[in-house]
Amino acid sequence: MTDSRILVTILSLILTWGGTTQLTSAQQTDWENQHIFRINKEEPHATLMPFPTEEMAQTKERLESPYCRLLNGQWKFCYVGNPDEAVNGFEETLFDDGGWDNITVPSNWQIEGYGVPLYTNTDYPFHVDPPKVMGTPRKDFTNYSEDARNPVGMYRRFFDIPRDWDGREVLLTFNGVKSAFYLWINGKFIGYSQDSRTPAEFNITKALKAGRNLIAVKVFQNCDGSYLEDQDTWRLHGIFRDVVLWSSAPADIKDIFIRPTLKNNYKDGILDVELEILNRTNKKENIYVEAEISGYGYQQTLQTQYHQINALKKERLLLKFQDIQDVKQWSAEIPNLYGLTINLRDRKKNLIGSYYKKIGFRTSEIQKGQLLINGQPILIKGINRHDHNMHTGYYVSEKQMLEEIKLMKQININAVRTSHYPNDPRFIELCDEYGLYVWDEANIESHGMGYGKSSLAKDTTWKAAHIDRIRNLIERDKNNPSVVVWSMGNEAGDGINFQEASKWIKERDPSRPVHYEIARKGHSPESHVDMLSEMYMTPWDLKDYCGTVKDLPEHERKPAILCEYSFARGNSNGNLKEYWEIFNTEKYAQGGFIWDWADKSLVKTQINQGNISSYYTIGGDYGDIPNSSGFAMCGILMPDFSWTPKVPEVFKVYQNVELKDYSYTDGVLFLDIKNNFFFKDLVGLLMNWQLTENGKEIATGVLEMPSIQPSSVKTLQLALQKLKIKSSAEYHFRMEWCLSEDTPWASSKHVIAWEQVELDWSERNFMRAEQSKNRDLTISQTDKELSISTGEIDYVFDKLSGHISSIKANKLELLSSPIHLHFWRPGTSNDEGMGDVHKKMEVWKKAGERSTVNHFDISELNNGIKLIMDVSIPVGNTKAIIEYIVYETGELLINLNLDVENDLPMLACAGFQGDMANKYHDWSWFGKGPHENYWDRKEGAWIGIFRGTVDESFFNYLEPQESGNRCDIRWASFTNTDSLNTGLRFDAVNQKLLEVSASPYSSDNIENARHPHELKKRDCFTFNISLHQMGLGGIAGWGPQPLEKYRLKSGKNYVMSFLLSPISD
């Protein structure tokens, strides 16, 4: 026996300690004892299922086996507030449950109306005294009352055993139960389990009887294991994944360890298969084993092996297949799968059972400081994902899993971290089939215990519990090619328990690297992790790390792969471009996982005056205490998996086709195209292209892509000789690379990448040509106001504040409130996360509206009237010079020169703000679009002419905040197109582009609303014409500011200009 097998055997004995515990004396203490986490549970093993025929094994899904019954559906249910109130004898078959409720399994009982959904990030929702969970918490805690201290849910269900299962072993598997539970069959105690996210399997054969049988389950909301399940998500409980009844022959396969790998420069495949055969009879059985490798789809048998063994109790059989020449590798880009069929036959050659597993040949290793897949350094374009549904909580259907995986592929995501626990096993199987790299994470997080002396990672009395959870994960998912890295957990401190766990992993499965973020210090080869994955590392720290690694010996170098970065709460994900400039250029920086995938909200229904409505909830909406408010709303998707404006940015920086350079000679455009895939050729893609002149399409075409090998560049030629190029126009060339045929994850014509360039023959001509009709200007003024009129266009300027009080076109008022200086925006989640920095910025909130004019000058020009106002802004000694020039055409040129005094808080924006009536809500613009974009999040938007409404431009994040901005604006207009074409137009001048935003809600309403349904529309909307808004940031949501280049700092001079034109047809 090898050392690793000895270790596994010893560990198995340790982890099954307590199997003989007497329930009558132990029931009240098992769930507050860190040493007891499994009683009579089957040893963890790979996900597998026997079939009665080879054809069925190869063509049916696992849960479609005749040897399998799903026990999902309606169960009898009783809920009590603490363990002392649990019903005695409910596990007996004669117990009368007629007064009990029905509950759907799988589900979380809070979702079904029992107890309170509670969202907290790190705070434990009970009194902290490990391993105890029944202490008295703070008085404001939801579970303060002893009547609600630790709820218990009792489940009952009757079931029948199929007749053709006679003589077989019957097993019952719970794929997910939170947090701890006891199991009885027909009143007989079967076992106990913790670890809510991996299978709890029990052999129930001896407790069964002919006819109806009863399952009784007693689930505890909190247990000692809850200290290891302090993940940042909703705290929900109950039986929330599939309950599977299945059967096995008395002598059958217990476990399979499939080890496909590559050799000969990663060209040829090697396959070793280790079978564990368990004979539950008391006599030796002669068993024949047939094993076959086939191409995916069972079209071709590549190799077959035959073996015979005499199994007494537990036997291991190692199958070594011959090399497979020129094997088709598995990767996330090309997820090639082969089939492994294993048949067991008895001594008469009758089929005992047939097993089938889709396998992939790939390697995952760290070599010379880089993560290699199949010998190739790759970049992780990843996302963190929770198992979550807005209606069903922890229960996620296969349909939803598939929808999510397809969306990830469509957004150019190539990797998913199962934060922070093993996802449903079906999700991993789908990742194998559709192609995603999986960072598979154990169900361990004890964040609330901190990382110091109190950390459970340092307490050896918790070592077995840590290793059990890691072992449960690895044994379950060890045969899945998509799993390329084992992650030992998240935010649980570091210490001896993880060190020992890492040793066990490396002996059990040395084919995958080991990850654990907290164990990031040092580069020692004895370290118990294989990479640095520091979460929310800044771009400059990341670059510094790469410089440091270069100076280390090769065997000490480790890649930086950020397990969490680009915190996506609310309007966020700024400076993604800066991260990927590093990932794309630094050898030892290999990507990361954005936090996170979708907003983790629950839908709540409310009735108001007879009207029924629903809304997305955040922490605290159920009266849940403690809570972390909206901290779980960190997705790039909404809870229903619809896109937010953050998605296009992720899509763009993650895309795998790139325009490296271009040139134009003699009517031919030369395009240097780079293939940023690592395994896939670009041949067969379609490149749709478009040429625009001042935003309007003048030429289009389609080009079928030639072969461009992975990580290679090829120059393509495109003839444009027939085009007439104007000397004073702006030209943009845009390319979209599309699928030419359907794939499993997207249909043909799906865009996988795009690029746009402003051609170097462009000449921006921002100042519009003066209209031919000039008008005489008249001036009138009072002590407070100055009016300038063309006869058709009337302007009124406030001589005290510098505001534009009124703009009329043909006597029709275009403003609902004055246009004034503006330096604020409704706070984003990241803004508010800056804490005191953001609080100090509030001095700018109303400063523009409170500006005062020190003096003004008025003068006549050849074609207009110039008004210069010297303005003081009531923040320090901040000054502004505003120059208004009203031309005879009726257009108004506005020049701003803003001097911000040193040592003041930074500005949220710099520009002007006003209100217009809702009838002018039709918004058109020439600039970045179509979705909202910001100074540090505009890579995913392109230049064009876009149209929409103000309502459409404002995105309703789950927590109301700043929204609706557009960058690089050449011109924008707000008009009433339902009747007369009237409104206002704003044009950039002097080659300086603008930012423009619009909102149907007031800034105060946005800042004070907790949910989008609390936003109240007005009879007007607010528009902003800005030099810049400060960046959104996104390094983290608690402290970091936007990158310095995206800040509007004090002690600087800001200059902007634009032309305002009333529209009146």
State residue 981's pLDDT score. Answer: 81
Instruction: Give which of 393, 374, 306, 315 is closest to 342, Cα–Cα.
Output: 306
* Contact between residue 717 and residue 670 where contact means Cβ atoms under 8 Å apart: yes
Distance, CA of 758 to CA of 767 (rounded, Å): 19
Helix (H) or strand (E) holding 553, with range, is none
Range 598-622 average pLDDT: 91
State residue 980's pLDDT score. Answer: 67
* Contact between residue 670 and residue 662 where contact means Cβ atoms under 8 Å apart: yes
Amino acid type, 177: V
What pTM was computed for the model? 0.95
* Contact between residue 569 and residue 578 where contact means Cβ atoms under 8 Å apart: no
Range 245-263 average pLDDT: 97
Q: What is the DSSP string of 330-374?
A: B-SSSB--EEEEEEEE-TT--EEEEEEEEE-B--EEEETTEEEET
State residue 125's pLDDT score. Answer: 97
State residue 297's pLDDT score. Answer: 60
Distance, CA of 634 to CA of 254 (rounded, Å): 41
Q: Which CATH number fits domain 379-599+634-651: 3.30.1050.10, 3.40.640.10, 3.20.20.80, 3.40.50.720?
A: 3.20.20.80
Class of domain 38-247: mainly beta
Q: What percent of the chain has pLDDT over 90?
A: 90
Residue 24 confidence (pLDDT) above 90: no
Residue 23 confidence (pLDDT) above 50: no
Range 271-291 average pLDDT: 94
State residue 1008's pLDDT score. Answer: 97
Contacts 24+ apart (CB under 8 A), 112-115: 112/238, 114/77, 114/79, 114/151, 114/153, 115/79, 115/148, 115/151, 115/221, 115/237
Question: Residue 16: which pLDDT band, with cuts at 50, 70 and 90?
Answer: very low
Distance, CA of 511 to CA of 498 (rounded, Å): 19
Instruction: Give which of 193, 189, 162 is closest to 178, Cα–Cα.
Output: 193
Domains 38-247 and 777-1064 share a fold: no
Residue 14 confidence (pLDDT) above 70: no
Distance, CA of 338 to CA of 329 (rounded, Å): 10
Distance, CA of 269 to CA of 327 (rounded, Å): 5
Residue 750 confidence (pLDDT) above 90: yes
Range 63-69 average pLDDT: 98
Residue 26 confidence (pLDDT) above 50: no
Distance, CA of 30 to CA of 36 (rounded, Å): 6
Question: Residue 561: which pLDDT band, with cuts at 50, 70 and 90?
Answer: very high
Range 56-69 average pLDDT: 96
Residue 876 confidence (pLDDT) above 90: yes
Class of domain 656-759: mainly beta
Range 189-207 average pLDDT: 98
Amino acid type, 717: Q
The predicted-structure confidence for 353-411, as pLDDT tens digits, reads as follows: 999 999 999 999 999 999 999 999 999 999 999 999 999 999 999 999 999 999 999 99
Q: Which of 285, 564, 649, 888 is catalytic?
A: 564
Geometric angle at alpha carbon 91, from 87 and 95, rounded to 5°: 75
Residue 296 confidence (pLDDT) above 90: no
Q: What percent of the chain has pLDDT over 70?
A: 95
Question: Residue 776: which pLDDT band, with cuts at 50, 70 and 90?
Answer: confident
The predicted-structure confidence for 462-509, as pLDDT tens digits, reads as follows: 999 999 999 999 999 999 999 999 999 999 999 999 999 999 999 999
The predicted-structure confidence for 165-195, as pLDDT tens digits, reads as follows: 999 999 999 999 999 999 999 999 999 999 9
Q: Please indicate whether residue 384 or residue 723 has the higher confidence score (pLDDT).
A: 384
Q: Which of 429, 433, 441, 491 is catalytic?
A: 491
Question: Residue 738: beta bridge partners?
Answer: 686, 751
CATH code assigned to 251-359: 2.60.40.10
Would you list the domain boundaries of the chain? 38-247, 251-359, 379-599+634-651, 656-759, 777-1064
Residue 3 confidence (pLDDT) above 90: no
Q: Is 333 a catalytic residue?
A: no
Is the bond preceding 930 in cis, omega lying within 30 degrees of 0?
Answer: yes
Residue 977's region, left for phi above 0, alpha for psi from -120 to 50, else beta, is alpha
Residue 8 confidence (pLDDT) above 80: no
State residue 1037's pLDDT score. Answer: 94
Range 724-747 average pLDDT: 94
Q: What is the 3-state secondary structure (H, E, C) of 744-763?
A: CCCCCCCEEEEEEEECCCCC
State residue 724's pLDDT score. Answer: 82
Question: Residue 299: which pLDDT band, with cuts at 50, 70 and 90?
Answer: low
Helix (H) or strand (E) holding 516, with range, is none
pLDDT averaged over the chain?
94
Least confident of 175-179, 560-564, 607-611: 607-611
* Spatial CB neighbours of 978, under 8 Å, sequence gap ≥ 6: 919, 922
Question: Residue 609: which pLDDT band, with cuts at 50, 70 and 90?
Answer: confident
State residue 990's pLDDT score. Answer: 83
Instruction: For the beta carbon of residue 1065, count every other beta carbon within 10 angstroms.
Output: 8
Residue 2 confidence (pLDDT) above 80: no
State residue 18's pLDDT score. Answer: 37
Helix (H) or strand (E) holding 83, with range, is none
Range 702-723 average pLDDT: 93
Structure tokens at 18: 């307590």
Question: Residue 5: which pLDDT band, with cuts at 50, 70 and 90?
Answer: very low
State residue 7's pLDDT score. Answer: 40
Q: Is 758 a catalytic residue?
A: no
State residue 1064's pLDDT score. Answer: 84
Question: Residue 767: which pLDDT band, with cuts at 50, 70 and 90?
Answer: low
Class of domain 777-1064: mainly beta
325: exposed, middle or buried (C-beta count within 10 Å: 0-12, 13-18, 19+)? exposed
DSSP label at 397? -
Question: Residue 718: beta bridge partners?
Answer: 669
